Chains A and B, each alone.
Chain A
Amino acid sequence: MGKSKVNSLGLSREEYKGRPSTLCPGCGHDSISNQIISTTYEMGIEQHKILKMSGIGCSSKTPAYFLGRSHGFNALHGRMPSVVTGALMGNPSMKCIAVSGDGDSGSIGMGQFKHAIRRNIPFVYIIENNGVYGLTKGQFSATSDEGQELKYYGRNELPAIDLALEAIIAGATFVARSFSGDSKQVQSLLQAALRHQGTAVIDIISPCVSFNNDPKSNKSYDYGKAHQISLHDIQVVAQGYVEGKDEIVVAPEAFADGSIVNVEMHDGTTLRLKHLDRNHDPRNRSMAISVLEQSQREQLFITGLIYYEEPRPTLAQLGDVYDGALGTLPEHRVRPSQQTLNDVMAKFK
């Protein structure tokens, strides 16, 4: 990237980076970090308005590697969703990109994963899903495919939990699956997710080069590249978009033929989806569920925007909460008066 190239804020892509990654060279997670950097850079996002959150695990280390000017919190294993919930209640004006893994969300944190979704906390919930525990050196995770084999632990006989399906069932209004090897798709999904006013779940299959990258493994690079079935090409068209300007990743002419579904988002953005496979309409809940069930049953690697619906009010909206940093409000706006206390005391006399 040339130094001269800057985004709408006059910042270079370099300035959206974090510290150097300490993950294994070739890790799928690093590629996702790069897509986050590219997407936020190209969208011209102000970094101080972003929170980076994570739980514990390889995936959860990555917020250190992108958006160096954003506050971040590497919380506890499986508990990122509650920390996000609190952070966004404490300051509902922030945007949040959170990173989790299949162990973090599918096992220890399944409860928090589903409850954050149920509350419609507005954040991008990325699951860097490699089907294996990396930091503890290669145990099966709850998303390991049935029949998967690992060097030390043998064969997994248990069915996999599909986190995209769990998200829909929990009431998620934006659910996608992608592949860390498909940077274009990851970027378009991130662009859309960052505009969503609710929990946007992106389950990204992200190969673990150290413990789960055997070409036979369903979560390996080779497997992903050979078997990915992309439901559609995605073009994110912002409200008031003028062609030829702004933040387009895929040129509109790519949609010259084939059927197109236009998904109108809450903020006026349109997602233009050009069908590549099975005429999937993400606005159809039962279609979304059956696509995921089929992919689970037949072990198909289907990616794209699986499900979208008009978001419910967020938790902060339901509580009619002040849209800013609550902790910086001056005293007279958060502490009732002496007279108020006197009035309350009179009731107890």
Chain B
Amino acid sequence: MVLEAVPQPAIQPNATNGKIVNDFAFMVATKNGSGSQTSNNVLVKSLFNMGIPVNGKNLFPSNIKGLPTWYTIRVSKDGYTGRRATTEIAVVYNQDSAAEDIANLPVGGVCIIPADWKWGHSREDIIWYEVPVKEIMKKIDVSSDLSKRVENMTYVGVVAQLFNIPLDEIWKALLENFNGKEKPAKLNFEAVKLAYEFAQQNLVKQDNFWFEYDNQTTGKIMITGNEAGALGSIFGGVNVVAWYPITPSTSLVDGIFDYQHLRKDPETGKMTMVIVQAEDELSAIGMLVGAGFSGARAMTATSGPGISLMAEFTGLAYYAEIPCVIWDVTRMGPSTGLPTRTSQGDILFTHVLGHGDTRQICLLPANPEEAFEFGWRAFDIADMGQLPVFVMSDLDLGMNNWMSEPFKYPDEPIQRGKVLDAEQLAEFIKEHGKWGRYLDVDGDGITYRTLPGTDHPQSAYFARGTGHNEMAGYSERSDDWLKNMARLHKKLQTVRGFLPAPIKDYDASKKVAIISFGTNEPAIQEARDMLKKQGIETNYLRVRALPLCQDVTDFINSHDRIYIPENNYDGQLYQIICLDHPQDLTHLKSLPLGDGLPMTAQWLFDKIMAVEKK
């Protein structure tokens, strides 16, 4: 892969029988837009159906057609799902990247490549399997426009035969991929079968890599974080989705489109949700703020450049106290950055988004289950806290297929927070003498709101981003301003109680720890196992929401050394922790990555070992 040049150790077969079973990675290099996504999905799904823990990651260019693209598939009998830098097997189906793809293979690695290319046997220390792609394709009756796409199925057939994926698994996965449509599945399967037969008759297996049936995926699902977030929103009762297309968030809204039929009102047959494609992100977030003001559940999905445009509106929503939900499927910034590469580089900026004094709520999902849960829960938090809630996903979670447990149905009824209808307003006034939009009668910083349409002569108020008093009247008085800010601060304390608590793996005897968030999870878990083998036992805390809570402070205070690995260049979680803990924190060590790719266990292991072995 030309994405990175990692020194690749030579392959060491298992001592016992020489076989390497369900514990290796392979990489498929193709041209973007050539239809290889279908081939790769079919491979991943076949392996998943065979019960083998598998993870596929698409490393693609910002381009529609033609530029090199890579797909890595890792199988792990130990259940590790993090990306691995080393890939033992390369399917080299793109001449443009072939030289580097071949050069990056470790000694003893495997190269599967079209037979008529000049690259064949350009290295002697790897194994070559050459596939007569053109000849195979000649045998298939396929239109020229489809031919290029179907061509990619030839490597599926060869991989299946060489490494032992039964053809019926491929067929099953193909059918699933085409939603049960037999015609396209058959066409593609023909190429698979011909390649499989070719390999059977002509290729002599020289490598030691094998897939074998396992039972580790029983009951599990395979899904992208964006689909999970879309489903979470649907089950969270979203009413208004306003968005502007941007990679890598687009498939989240596509997912909502796919399932919006679930949101037909059972009583009237009318839709209880609507999707509006806005003219830009300013307009998208404006629609959310309007909908939230109306009492509706509103959400958008965007990425860094969209978040930049939403700064002014989310400041307004924070200060006028309007609920809404914003998904940031983070890509690499600054600026347009790397639109198709993953990053965790938006959290610091988003946490304080808006001018003046703002602290925005951020939820930090690490896997599809959390993307689903935070998908519905974000609306409850937004409504209860009357504020914007950001769900900070990333490209790796959003666009790649992850193994997951099936999602749990929301375990709480919908929480609408403090909303007064006409009757409740009358009671409120009876009890408290008056109602004001920003009048805190409960002492928790959260005030009662009324919705437009409430038929009560005192229900109305004028929402605004300008200074206001408890009665929502315009005010430039310093005391009103400070009182309001103090209440907002108190509200934030209350809202902390609504947020998902950190996940902790804590044992008081261990003095070294890791704090991180989001999709670094698989790499961290694997690295912890690697460290353990070296005698370094670690505790681990995964932050799931901002602002940080007391748990994090306690965790920080109970270790000698804490590593904070994260996938941005500046160590933003580390900075947020420092911001909230002004005391001496020299025992915290920031480990920022930010190379555009999902973190690997090896990288983290090396970073921590470099310090621990001193």
Is B one of A's binding partners?
yes
Q: Which of A85, A94, A331, A335 contacts B452 (CB 8 A)?
A: A94
List the one stretch of A26-34, A44-52, A271-279 in contact with chain B. Answer: A44-52
Mark B467-487 against chain A: 1 for CB-CB distance below 8 A, else 0.
000000110000000000000
Could you show 23 A-B contacts with beta carbons less than 8 Å apart?
Answer: A64-B474, A69-B460, A71-B459, A71-B462, A73-B293, A73-B462, A76-B465, A82-B242, A85-B283, A86-B292, A90-B292, A91-B451, A112-B283, A119-B276, A316-B274, A319-B275, A322-B271, A325-B451, A327-B295, A327-B419, A328-B295, A334-B239, A334-B272
B399 to chain A, nearest CB (A): 15
A337 to B, closest residue via Cβ: B409
10 new A-B contacts at CB < 8 Å, known A82-B286, A91-B294, A328-B421: A51-B452, A74-B465, A86-B287, A86-B291, A90-B290, A94-B453, A322-B272, A325-B451, A329-B272, A344-B259
Flag A280-320 by CB within 8 Å of B: 1 or 0 each: 00000000000000000000000000000000000110011
List B220-236 residues whose CB lies under 8 Å from chain A: 220-223, 227, 231, 234-236
Query: Does the CB pair B451–A83 fall under 8 Å?
Result: no
A86 touching B294, Cβ below 8 Å: yes
Q: Which of B272, B312, B452, B459 gathers most chain A CB within 10 Å?
A: B452
**Does B577 touch A at the CB level, under 8 Å?**
no
Contact A89 B274 (CB under 8 A): yes
CA distance A344 to B223 in the complex (A): 11
Q: Do residues A79 and B286 form an inter-chain contact, with CB atoms below 8 A?
A: yes
Question: Are the C-beta atoms of A85 and B295 separated by less than 8 Å?
Answer: no
Q: Is the CB of A349 within 8 A of B459?
A: no
- A68, CB-defined interface residue at 8 Å: yes
Interface residues of B (CB under 8 A from A): 219-223, 227, 231, 234-237, 239-240, 242, 259, 262-263, 265-268, 270-276, 278-280, 282-298, 312-313, 316, 320, 406-407, 409-410, 413-414, 416, 419, 421, 450-457, 459-466, 473-474
B455–A48 touching, CB < 8 Å: yes
B274 touches A335 (CB 8 A): no
Q: Which residue of A lies closest to B459 (CB)?
A: A48
B409 touches A338 (CB 8 A): yes
Say whether B463 contacts A86, CB under 8 Å. no
The answer to whether A327 and B283 have CB atoms under 8 Å apart is: no
Residue of A nearest to B219 (CB): A349
A116 to chain B, nearest CB (A): 9
Whether A184 sits at the interface, judged by CB under 8 Å, is no
Q: Which of B237, B283, B298 contacts A115 (CB 8 A)?
A: B283
From the candidates A85, A319, A322, A325, name the one contacting B290 in the complex (CB within 8 A).
A85
Interface size on A, residues (CB 8 A): 63
Check A348 against B222 for contact (C-beta < 8 Å).
yes
Say whether, besides A64-B462, A70-B460, A333-B267, A84 and B290 are in contact (CB < 8 Å).
Answer: yes
CB contact between B457 and one of A69, A83, A326 (< 8 Å): that residue: A69
Q: In the bound complex, do residue B259 and residue A48 qualify as a contact, i.e. CB atoms below 8 Å apart?
A: no
Cβ proximity bits A67-107 to B, threshold 8 Å, 1 near / 0 not: 01111111110010111111111110110000000000000
Known: A319-B274, A341-B409. Is A90-B464 also a contact (CB below 8 A)? Answer: no
Q: Which of B220, B293, B320, B406 is the most central at the interface, judged by chain A CB atoms within 10 Å of its CB?
A: B293
Q: Given the complex of chains A and B, what is the CA–CA distance between A341 and B235 in angstroms?
A: 8
A215 to chain B, nearest CB (A): 33
Q: Is A111 an interface residue (CB 8 A)?
A: yes
Q: How far is the CB of B269 from chain A (nearest CB, A)?
A: 8
A345 touches B407 (CB 8 A): yes
Question: Is A323 interfacial (CB 8 A cutoff)?
Answer: yes
Given A48-B459, A69-B460, the answer on whether A87 and B291 have CB atoms closer than 8 Å is yes
User: Which A residues touch B267, using CB under 8 A?
Assistant: 333
B452 touches A326 (CB 8 A): no
- A76, A90, A341: the one contacting B291 at CB < 8 Å is A90
| A63 is an interface residue with CB less than 8 A from chain B | yes
- B295 touching A319, Cβ below 8 Å: no
Q: Are B276 and A331 in contact (CB under 8 A)?
A: no
A90 and B294 in contact, given A75-B286, A323-B270, A335-B237 (Cβ under 8 angstroms): yes
- Judge whether B407 and A333 touch: CB under 8 Å: no
Residue from A64, A328, A332 with most neighbouring chain B CB atoms (10 Å): A328
Please give, as numbers and ranges, the residues of chain B lying within 8 Å of A49 by CB-CB distance: 453
- For B262, the chain A residues whose CB sits under 8 A away are 336, 340, 344
Which residues of B lie under 8 Å from residue A83 when comparing CB positions?
A: 286-287, 289-290, 293
Inter-chain contacts of A338 with B (CB < 8 A): 409
Give 1 or 0 for each of A15-31: 1 = CB within 8 Å of chain B CB: 00001000000000000
Contact check, B240 vs A89: say whether CB atoms are below 8 A apart.
yes
Residue of A nearest to B240 (CB): A89
* Residue of B whose beta carbon sits closest to that of A64: B462
Query: Which residues of chain A have C-beta atoms less than 8 A from B294's C-beta?
Result: 86-91, 94, 325-327
Whether A48 contacts B454 in the complex (CB less than 8 A), given A70-B460, A112-B286, comes out as yes
Q: Are B220 and A349 in contact (CB under 8 A)?
A: yes
Residues of chain A with a CB closer than 8 A to B410's CB: 335
- Contacts A86-B291, A327-B294, A327-B296: A322 and B268 contacting too (C-beta < 8 A)? yes
B residues in contact with A325, CB < 8 Å: 294-296, 451-453
Which residues in A have some Cβ–Cβ distance to B below 8 Å?
A: 19, 46-49, 51-53, 63-64, 68-76, 79, 81-91, 93-94, 111-112, 115, 119, 315-316, 319-323, 325-329, 331-336, 338, 340-342, 344-345, 348-349
* A73 CA to B468 CA, complexed, in Å: 13
Is B223 in contact with A348, judged by CB distance below 8 angstroms? yes
CB distance from B324 to the nearest CB of A (A): 9
B460 in contact with A47 (CB, 8 Å): yes
In the complex with contacts A82-B282, A82-B287, A335-B235, A349-B221 CB distance below 8 A: yes
Pick the most buried of B267, B271, B464: most chain A CB atoms within 10 A of its CB. Answer: B464
Closest chain A residue to B322, Cβ basis: A73
A43 to chain B, nearest CB (A): 18
**A321–B100 CA distance with the chains assembled, in angstroms:** 54
**Are B272 and A76 in contact (CB-based, < 8 A)?**
no
Q: How far is the CB of B307 from chain A (nearest CB, A)?
A: 16
Check A341–B279 contact: CB distance below 8 A: no
Tell me whether B295 and A86 are in contact (CB under 8 A): no
Whole-angstrom distance between the Cβ of A91 and the nearest chain B Cβ = 4
Check A85/B287 contact, CB under 8 A, given A91-B296, A322-B270, A323-B270.
yes
Q: Contact at B462–A72, with CB atoms within 8 Å?
A: yes
Question: Of B235, B290, B451, which is within 8 A of A327 by CB?
Answer: B451
User: What residues of A have a CB within 8 angstroms of the CB of B223 in the complex?
Assistant: 348
Across the interface, name the chain B residue whose C-beta is closest to A348: B221
**Cβ–Cβ contact B296 & A334, under 8 A:** no
CB–CB B296/A333 < 8 A? no
Give, as a whole number of angstroms, the nearest-CB distance from A335 to chain B.
5
Name B410's closest neighbour in chain A (CB-CB). A335
- Are the CB atoms of B316 and A76 closer together than 8 Å? yes
Task: Return the chain A residue nearest B224 by Cβ.
Answer: A348
A46, A88, A326, A342: residue with the most chain B Cβ atoms closer than 10 Å: A326
Tell whether, in the assembled complex, residue A315 and residue B293 are in contact, meaning their CB atoms are under 8 Å apart: no
Contact A333 B266 (CB under 8 A): yes
Identify which of B227, B276, B279, B282 contacts A315 (C-beta below 8 A): B276
Complex interface: chain A residues within 8 A of B221 (CB): 345, 348-349
Instruction: Write out the residue numbers on chain B whose beta carbons fall within 8 Å of the beta carbon of A344.
Output: 231, 259, 262
A71, B452: Cβ atoms closer than 8 Å? yes
- A77 nearest in chain B by CB position: B312
Q: Tell whether, in the assembled complex, residue B462 and residue A86 are in contact, meaning their CB atoms are under 8 Å apart.
A: no
Which chain A residue shows the least CB distance to B312? Answer: A76
Q: How far apart sit A328 and B422, CA to CA, in the bound complex (Å)?
A: 13
The docked-state distance in angstroms from the alpha carbon of A267 to that of B408 is 48
Point out the residue from B242, B263, B289, B312 that lies within 8 Å of A334, measured CB to CB: B263
Residues of B within 8 A of A68 (CB): 460
**Sorted from nearest, which 8 A-B pairs have the closest CB atoms?**
A82-B286, A86-B290, A90-B296, A327-B295, A90-B294, A86-B287, A87-B290, A90-B291
Q: How far is the CA of A68 from the CA of B473 in the complex (A)?
A: 12
| Distance, CA A336 to CA B294, complexed state (A) | 22
Are A345 and B270 closer than 8 Å at their CB atoms? no
Task: Compute how far the CA of A5 lies from the CA of B235 in the bound complex, rounded to whole angstroms.
Answer: 51
Q: How distant is A152 from chain B, measured CB to nearest CB, in Å? A: 26
* Chain B residues near A86 (CB-CB < 8 A): 240, 242, 286-294, 296, 298
